Amino acid sequence: MATMHDVARLAGVSPSTVSYVLTGTRPISQATRDKVLAAMAQLDYQPNAMARGLASRRSRILGLLMPMDERGLGATETAFVTGAAAAASAVGYHLVLSPVGGGNLDDLRRLASQRMLDGVVLMEVQLADERVTVLQEAGVPLVLIGRTGDTTGLSYVDIDFEQTVREAVAHLVGLGHRRIVYVNHSAATLASGYGPALRTRDAFVSAMSGHGLEPVMIPAEDSAAGGRAALAAAFARTPGLTAVVAMNETAIFGILGELTGRGLSVPDDVSVVSMVTSPQVAELATPALTAMTSPGSTLGRIAIEALVRHLDGRGNERHQQLLPCALEIRGSTAEPRRPAPASAEPSPTSGG
């Protein structure tokens, strides 16, 4: 394998001159540059990635910034990462997953100031997300997986939560369910302004109201215990409930456990739909969960492609795109055993 010294000898220059051609750190005459490049081609010399990055003023590294807690990455979140990583690799970039930026803006500022990343994909976006401002002020190109409240001038890809919730509710209503409860993320998550939790809350109200039904939403901690507590609260608020829609993968197994503990079967007594879920998670349950399957891998890929277009100067327009989840019917939904009368009204409403 040819080395930099081999290139220097063939071109009749010093190794440092070869380095300057690669890195661009000093001006080199075009004639000398041409000799070095010709020698490199003749020897099939492959400069290392760092040298190529310096030559183009690029690190060829992209950051995927995703705040993480003790739960780590589940199968559904992993799909976003693998889709993004594959897309980055396909165009010659490395993708680095970093938890920087959850609540520590100083760490994010330090990361942005080091210029190690050519661009950033930001996940777990809040409606008012200070991380966006920090990255914009530092001049770091970014694409969101998710949306802020004001998306002016931003590139993003996100789930179409309105259509996703509408189709989930329509599936249950079409089976004959009238008392449907939505189990969301925690009250703290809602209060923090987390986009998916707030958008699905509003979409559920709209979808249920569109069918003339009363929306009941229960917040749940992201744990099995949180799911059990949420289902107990759901029965207290809506004793005759026949269906649950949940967007909380960690809690949903607690929901299923609480149903079993009450002597209720899925789907004969209560139907369950899991939203924004991977097939891997849906198949873990017994029966397998009817789910609104997350387009996570596709969203990860599209986000990277949009970011690279910006970096290459091919994306002058902002990229803004929504994709709905896809309904996949499995064993956790069926007609209610005792359909509610058409005129029946669910008990007390809530929102949360």
- Does the domain at residues 161-294 carry the CATH identifier 3.40.50.2300? yes
- 183: amino acid identity, one letter: V
What is the reported pLDDT for 134? 93
Residue 338 is predicted with a pLDDT of 67
Which residues, 6 or more positions from 333, have their beta carbon under 8 angstroms from its beta carbon?
171, 172, 175, 243, 267, 271, 272, 273, 290
332 CB neighbour count, 10 Å cutoff = 24
Residue-level pLDDT at 103: 66
Full pLDDT tens readout for the chain, 352 residues: 788 888 899 999 998 888 777 765 577 888 898 898 888 888 888 665 555 554 546 678 999 998 876 556 778 888 999 999 999 999 889 999 988 766 678 888 888 887 889 999 999 999 999 999 999 999 999 999 999 999 999 999 999 999 999 999 999 999 999 999 999 999 999 999 999 999 999 999 999 999 999 999 999 999 999 999 999 999 999 999 999 999 999 999 999 999 999 999 999 999 999 999 999 999 999 999 999 999 999 999 999 999 999 998 866 679 999 999 999 999 999 999 865 444 444 444 444 4
Task: Compute and round to an integer the Cα radius of gyration of the chain.
Answer: 26
List every span in the chain annotated with CATH 3.40.50.2300: 61-159+296-324, 161-294
> What pLDDT score was predicted for residue 144?
98
State pTM to two decimals. 0.79
Q: Note the CATH architecture for domain 61-159+296-324.
A: 3-Layer(aba) Sandwich (3.40)
CB atoms within 10 A of CB 316: 7
The CATH architecture that domain 4-55 belongs to is Orthogonal Bundle (1.10)
Place of tokens 């215990």: 225
| Residue in this structure with the two tokens 């089976």, named with its chain if needed | 175
* Residues whose CB falls within 8 Å of the CB of residue 165, separated by 6 or more in sequence, listed in order: 200, 203, 204, 206, 207, 245, 275
CB atoms closer than 10 angstroms to residue 233: 17
CB atoms within 10 A of CB 8: 18
